[in-house]
Structure 1
Amino acid sequence: MLAFDIETMGLSMHHHEITVAAVYDPTKGIRHCYNFYRHRHDRTRWQREVDDFLRILDEARTLCTFNGIRFDIPFIQTQFKVDPERVGRWVLKTVDLFHRWKLLRDHTFSLDKLLIANGLPVKTSKGCFAIDMARQQRWDELEDYCMNDTVLTHLVSSKERLVIP
C-alpha cells in the first residue's frame, strides 16, 4: 500500500500550487519526497518530477491518504492536468479514512485525533505552517513534515483494529 500526501500554498486548487508531495511504501522500499515548488522555474526538472510522481501513483496496487479523495487527488488532477480516467483509477484503489467516515457516519476528525486515539505518534506540525516553510524556502523542514504525515497515514491505515475518535 502506497501512502501519499501533498502540501500546497493554499486551499484553492485553481489558485495555489502544490509545493511538495511525499510517497511511502515500506514493503516496496519507496520513500521519496518531490519538491515541485523549489524546481518550478526549471521546467524540464519539474516535469520529470511530476511524471515520476504520477507514475508511482499509477503503479501502486493500493493508495492510502487522509482526505486525499476530496483534497489531494483533485488538487493533483487540476495542478498537473491529469486525465479524469486516470484519476478515477486512483480513486477506486484509494483507502481514505477521512472520506470513508465522512460518507458512512457524517463524522470527521483530524489525522492527529485519529493517531492519538490509536496510540500512535502525532504530526510534527500543521498544514498552515507548511505554507510558511515554503515561503521561507525551508525545504528540508517542509519535506520532512510532508514525509512524516505520509508515514503516519500509512501507519494508521495499516492498523488491523482501528479506534475512531
Structure 2
Amino acid sequence: MKILGIGTRVKHEDYGQGVVIGVFPTYYSITFYNHGNDRIKLDEEMDIVEYVEPENDLVSMYDVEMTFKNLLNKYIGSFETVPLGDRWKGGNMILKPASDDLAAKEIPIETFFHKIVMMRDKLRVLEQKVNSSDLNDEAKVDIQQYITRCYGSMTTFNVLFKNKEDHFSTK
C-alpha cells in the first residue's frame, strides 16, 4: 500500500476529486471539491491524479498525545478534564485560623479544585481495583462501603464543579 503525502490529488468513487490535507495513522483527511472535508481509510480504493511524496513524520503531536492519554486511561484510570464553575475561576480560597496570632493561608481555587478532581479520580481507580481484585465478596462490599462514604463526604465540594454530571455522588 502506497502512503499518500499531503497535497496528493485523488479521485474517489463516491466523493469525486479532492486533495489530501492530512495523513493520520488510520485515515486520510481529504477535502473534496464538491463534497467538503471527509476521512477516508488508508486502504480505501482511490485513483491517484497527482502523487506527492509523504513527509517522514506521518503522525502529528496530537495523535501521539491522544495515544498516550488512551494508554494511561487503560492502565492507570480516568484522567478526564473537569471544568471548574465559571464563578470560581480566578478566585482564591482563604483558610483563616481562629487565632489572630496565626497567618491565614490563601490558595487559588483552581489549585484546590485540581486536588479535589485528582482525589475523585483516585477513588474511581481504587473502586475499579477492588472490583477486579481476588478479594472475597464480603471484603469487596466492606471496602466499597468506605469508598461510598468518601464520595458522600466529598459532596460538599460539588458547588465547585461547572457540570452536574461531574459531581460526587453516593449512587
Verify same fold: TM over 0.5.
no
Q: Which has the higher helix share?
A: 1
Give the TM-score range, shorter chain. Answer: under 0.3
Q: Which has the higher contact order (CA 8 A, sep 6+)?
A: 1
1 or 2, which has the higher strand percentage?
2
Q: Work out which of the two has the higher radius of gyration on C-alpha atoms and give 1 or 2.
A: 2
- TM-score, normalization: structure 1? 0.22
